């Protein structure tokens, strides 16, 4: 690395790397399928702000280490939030910061969705400008399957990509879609075999790097104005509704069902809410 290029910051749950003017951000908890903990929330809220001010990169690629892009919320972490909901309230503020940090990033953000993207993991992928997904991957936002409101960004981005009727169908059921189905309905840009994925992402990033930097950046800024308007209108209410459901018996049942690998039985203990 040139002495004139600033060192990259160190993160506990993320890995940063540069290749010329390409900055790569990797969710780096492969043993847990990059499930999202408080530490990852905190670091995601910082890393996109760093990417925005990094003078040594023009394009950002976002991916996951190991088999998954991100399998969503960490089960133990979710249970800790459910039993100590004041902890979720701080995390909710971080979720809002993450969404706006991504939307404020003026550099092209390309997602290499190497594996499953679930819950907040799906939101992270879909907030990227262009998404290349492995055909081994599934994507979905199953907040409702955990007794939660999809308040941390899903209600912002899904309607923008696939329209309100389809967004309602998938967010109200929590269904996971194959990469091929996601590409068919316009949720992601491309579904490619694992053997094709890296080459396609690299080629596209190089195409952007060879383009007019300011023209590309400012076109992205223009395109993101509507997304930011939607996020400003929705995020506070979404986080508030999700914070209410974090405190519910249905959410605790959703976590227990996931732990026990069974279908949840919602509504049995609503008198506890």
> Residue 80: exposed, middle, or buried by beta-carbon count in 10 A (0-12, 13-18, 19+)?
middle
In a domain, 230, yes or no: yes
Q: What average pLDDT does range 234-260 have in this prediction?
A: 94
CA distance to 44, 84, 239, 252, 270, per residue, from 90 (Å): 14, 11, 11, 19, 25
**Please, what is the Cα angle at 74 between 26 and 156, to 5 degrees?**
70
- Domain of residue 233 covers 14-197+212-272
Q: What average pLDDT does range 31-51 have in this prediction?
A: 95
Examine the pLDDT at 75 and tell me if it is beyond 90. Answer: no
User: Please, which pLDDT band fits residue 271 given cuts at 50, 70 and 90?
Assistant: very low
Q: DSSP letters of 132-173?
A: EEETT-EEE--GGGGT---TTTHHHHHHHHH-HHHHHHHHHH
- Say what the pTM is: 0.94
Can you say whether residue 68 is alpha, beta or left, with left for phi > 0 and alpha for psi between -120 and 50 degrees?
Answer: beta
In a domain, 97, yes or no: yes
Q: DSSP letters of 18-44?
A: EETTEEEEEE--GGGTT-B-HHHHHHH
Give the mean pLDDT of the chain: 94
In a domain, 130, yes or no: yes
In a domain, 188, yes or no: yes
Q: Which of 185-189, 213-217, 239-243, 265-269 is predicted with the least confidence, judged by mean pLDDT?
A: 265-269
What is the number of domains present in the chain?
Answer: 1
Q: Which of 59-63, 188-192, 258-262 is predicted with the least confidence, judged by mean pLDDT?
A: 258-262
CATH number of 81's domain: 3.90.226.10
> Residue 246: exposed, middle, or buried by beta-carbon count in 10 A (0-12, 13-18, 19+)?
buried
CB atoms closer than 10 angstroms to residue 9: 12
- Compute and round to an integer the Cα radius of gyration of the chain: 18
User: Please, which pLDDT band fits residue 4 given cuts at 50, 70 and 90?
Assistant: low
Q: What average pLDDT does range 6-25 have in this prediction?
A: 96
* Structure confidence by residue, pLDDT tens digits, 108-132: 999 999 999 999 999 999 999 999 9
In a domain, 205, yes or no: no
For the chain, how long is the longest CA-to-CA vector?
Answer: 63
């Amino acid at each position: 690395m040139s002495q004139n290029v600033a060192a990259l910051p160190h993160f506990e749950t993320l890995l940063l790397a540069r290749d010329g003017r390409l900055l790569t951000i990797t969710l780096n908890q492969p043993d847990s399928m990059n499930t999202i903990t408080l530490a990852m929330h905190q670091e995601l809220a910082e890393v996109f702000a760093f990417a925005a001010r990094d003078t040594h990169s023009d394009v950002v690629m976002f991916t996951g280490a190991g088999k998954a892009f991100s399998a969503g919320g960490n089960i133990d972490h979710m249970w800790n939030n459910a039993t100590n909901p004041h902890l979720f309230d701080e995390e909710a503020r971080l979720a809002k910061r993450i969404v706006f940090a991504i939307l404020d990033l003026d550099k092209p953000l390309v997602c290499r969705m190497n594996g499953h993207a679930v819950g907040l993991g799906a939101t992270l992928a879909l907030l990227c400008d262009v998404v290349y997904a492995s055909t081994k991957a599934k994507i979905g936002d199953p907040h409702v399957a955990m007794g939660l409101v999809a308040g941390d960004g899903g209600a912002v981005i899904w309607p923008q990509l696939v329209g309100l009727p389809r967004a309602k169908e998938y967010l109200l059921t929590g269904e996971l879609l194959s990469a091929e189905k996601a590409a068919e309905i316009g949720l992601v840009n491309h579904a490619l075999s694992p053997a094709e994925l890296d080459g396609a992402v690299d080629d596209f990033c190089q195409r952007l790097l060879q383009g007019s930097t300011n023209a590309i950046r400012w076109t992205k800024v223009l395109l993101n104005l509507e997304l930011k308007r939607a996020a400003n209108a929705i995020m506070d209410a979404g986080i508030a509704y999700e914070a209410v459901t974090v405190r519910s018996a249905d959410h605790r049942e959703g976590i227990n069902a996931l732990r026990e690998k069974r279908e949840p039985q919602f509504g049995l203990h609503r008198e506890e809410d």
